[in-house]
Structure 1
Amino acid sequence: MSLKNQFEQLCSPFTEDQQLIRDLWKEIETKYSEKGRHYHNLLHLENMFSELETVKMKISDFTAISFSIFYHDVIYDATSKSNEEKSAVKAEKRLAELHIDKDKITIISEQILATKSHQHSDQEDTNYLLDADLSVLGKDFKTYLEYTQNIRKEYSIYPDFLYKPGRKKVLKHFLELESIFKTEYFKDRYESQAKENIAEELRLL
């Protein structure tokens, strides 16, 4: 199923306004297709949904986590340090237009904000979201290398002498976490490869 169809199905229980759903999808599609997005694009969303398909039965509110995926990078500017906050605000506004329950909107907003620091959450659904978001770190090194090249393109505004120290800081942050992945499923699947990939990238920087 295409992302568009998935989004339409996600929204349909909350509103009969098809034009509203189309407008909301168009905004998401436009945002994730912006010129500078080489990694944080629609393919990233597809990959996250694909990763979570296997563990769908373990997720208590798949509707909330699905909205969180669609909106978690809706605002993305490589020069900004508040993308997650802005994305959460955008999500809150749009989901209110769909008349989604306020408690559910709060959960979605908190999930989006959690993608900023990637710390272990008391909410297991949030941990699954975080793990799907970082799953690329544990792929084979060729795929990982493509990911690092796309991230570099997104930060092309910065010369190497600025980019490399910043990137090293991010990578070391991941290695300093008790574990990169928060759920047993993703830990078993990707943790050791992710650490190898990150160590190799640090060596190459």
Structure 2
Amino acid sequence: MPHESAPRWHSCLALLGGDHHVGHDAWADLETRYTEPHRRYHDLAHATAVAHDAEQLAADLPFHERAVVVLAAWAHDVVYDAVPSEDEQRSAEWLRRWLTRAGIADAHIDRAEALVLATATHEALEDDFAAAALLDADLAILGAPPAAYAAYVDNVRQEYARYPDDAWATGRAAVLESLLARPALYLTESARSRWETAARRNLQAELTRCRSVRGDHR
């Protein structure tokens, strides 16, 4: 039985003139990939949450631009082997392949692909509101209540279970320090007002724990 969010995928595809039957095949493939057994956080629930938040943040964009953002949101982690940059590249290729089969216009395909690729660096041009909406939605979990944030960290840790605790703590600390060094974690005003304060609190608390694992008590 298709996931409850499947109709929104199909409606976005239809808004862009996509073939209905190809859209169903694409969604089936997407569901299969997001339910792979090695996924703990980067699953269909995550993709759907990102799609929902991105659509809300992009509410002021024209309908066809919002549709592209939503499709990119669902596809942004469709390939996930915990290999940074490579996963995003392959996810972008997956989306391009299916949108091409569905008969979507090249301009929309190019845009959707670029949005997925932007999730590798989490950087967007100052006037690229669509990318900002997607990137902020992808980081919404950082501003979750402490218990939900802890569950997120635990699930991501399981996805990187091949690394020993000290290596994980070192790598994770570097990510956290990089995030905390940003003037703002979120690119849109709406996301900043909703999540910035809680996100910084969560990140700082996790960084303290990572440093403790490494014996660094700064």
- The TM-score normalised by the length of structure 1 is 0.93
Once the two structures are aligned, what percentage of the paired residues are identical? 29
Q: Which moved more, 1:154-163 or 1:142-151?
A: 154-163
1:31 alignment counterpart:
33
- Show structure 2 runs of 5+ residues with no match: 211-218
Contact 2:54/2:73 (<8 A) preserved: no
1:91 to 95, 99, 103: 95
Q: 1:191 & 1:80 partners in 2: Cα distance?
A: 24
Deviation of 1:16 (Å) = 4.4
Contact 2:54 2:70 in 1 (8 A): no
Q: Report the RMSD for the aligned CA atoms in angstroms.
A: 1.7
Q: Return structure 1 stretches of 4+ with deviation > 3 angstroms.
A: 52-56
Matches within 5 A, 1:24-63: 24-60=26-62, 61-63=65-67
2:18 & 2:104 partners in 1: Cα distance? 9
Q: Structure 2-normalised TM-score?
A: 0.87
1:115: Cα distance to partner? 0.6
Corresponding position: 1:75 with 2:79: yes
Residue 157 in 1 paired to residue 162 in 2?
Answer: yes
Q: Is the 8 A contact 2:47 2:76 kept in 1?
A: no
* Equivalences for residues 108-119 of structure 1 within 5 A: 108-119=112-123
| In 2: Cα distance, 1:183 partner to 1:114 partner | 15
Distance 1:202 1:55 in 2: 28
User: What's 2:178 paired with?
Assistant: 173
After superposing the two structures, state which structure 1 stretch, 114-123 or 36-45, moved more.
114-123
**1:84-125 deviation per Cα after TM superposition (whole angstroms, max 9, x unaligned):** 111111111111111111111111111111111112323111
Q: Which runs of 5+ in 1 are unaligned?
A: none
Tell me, yes or no, if structure 1 residue 132 matches structure 2 residue 150.
no
> Structure 2: how far apart are the matches of 1:51 and 1:185?
11
